[in-house]
Amino acid sequence: SLDLCREHTTFAETARVRDEAVVAGLRRYAPSCCDGLAELAGPLWAAVDSLPLGARSLFAAHRAWPRPADEPLLSAWLAVNAIREWRGDTHWAVQIAEDLSGDMAGVLDGAWRAYEDHWVARSRGADDPALEKALTQLERRGLAEGGAITRAGIDYRQALEDRLDDLCSRAWRHLGAERTRAFLDVVEPVGDALLARIDITAGPNWMPAARDRRA
């Protein structure tokens, strides 16, 4: 996708179109959240700035992007996106610390979410030989058997998620209980509507981290 961007446009132009789509999409599909989210732009960026940059290159790039003071709704969304990316970078740091390859992590994650046919790993580029290799490696660690993740593997993946939740609570602790509750009051009521839009545009499996586990 980066190569396609370089070939056809610029990163700045891509971000501009993305930002326009974010604002238009929120106002069209989740209008009830817009004012409340915009009001939290400043505190959300303060939470972003409280997070360490070390070994989190994608988060660092998001944090360094301009913060549009004239469009607080977009600014708030960008802040939330930066917090999300800090979790994403931390997620991969945890996987790496556990000596899990990307394919192994994808297979574990898909089984934990009860996605069929290793959809999560396949969506990240894994083919059949890569899946077979990942399952063999997981079997050696007692996390899979007969080409499927075991109960021990599911429990292991849950333990990783619990660890990640604990590590990623720091942004919300900085935001504080009152403002965190205010944020949840704003965004939780529109979650189903936004997921429904994803279902229409990308299918019911996309954005698994935004969905409830199926099992």
Q: Mind listing the pLDDT tens digit of every residue in the chain (215 residues)?
A: 789 999 999 999 999 999 999 999 999 999 999 999 999 999 999 999 999 999 999 999 999 999 999 999 999 999 999 999 999 999 999 999 999 999 999 999 999 999 999 999 999 999 999 999 999 999 999 999 999 999 999 999 999 999 999 999 999 999 999 999 999 999 999 999 999 999 999 999 999 999 999 97
pLDDT at residue 40 in the model: 99
List own/partner pairs for 99-106 with CB under 8 A and 24 or more apart. Answer: 101/134, 101/137, 102/126, 103/130, 103/131, 103/133, 103/134, 104/134, 104/137, 104/138, 106/134
pLDDT at residue 179 in the model: 99
pLDDT at residue 1 in the model: 78
Q: How far is CA 40 from the centre of its chain?
A: 20
pLDDT at residue 215 in the model: 75
pLDDT at residue 123 in the model: 97
pLDDT at residue 162 in the model: 98
Other beta carbons within 10 Å of 59:
24
Helix axes 72-97, 41-49, angle to 10 degrees: 30
The residues pairing with 148 across neighbouring beta strands, listed in sequence order, are 145
Q: Is 114 in contact with 214 (CB distance < 8 Å)?
A: yes
pLDDT at residue 34 in the model: 99
Residues 7, 197, 201, 36: what is their CA dihedral angle, to the nearest 10 degrees?
A: 0
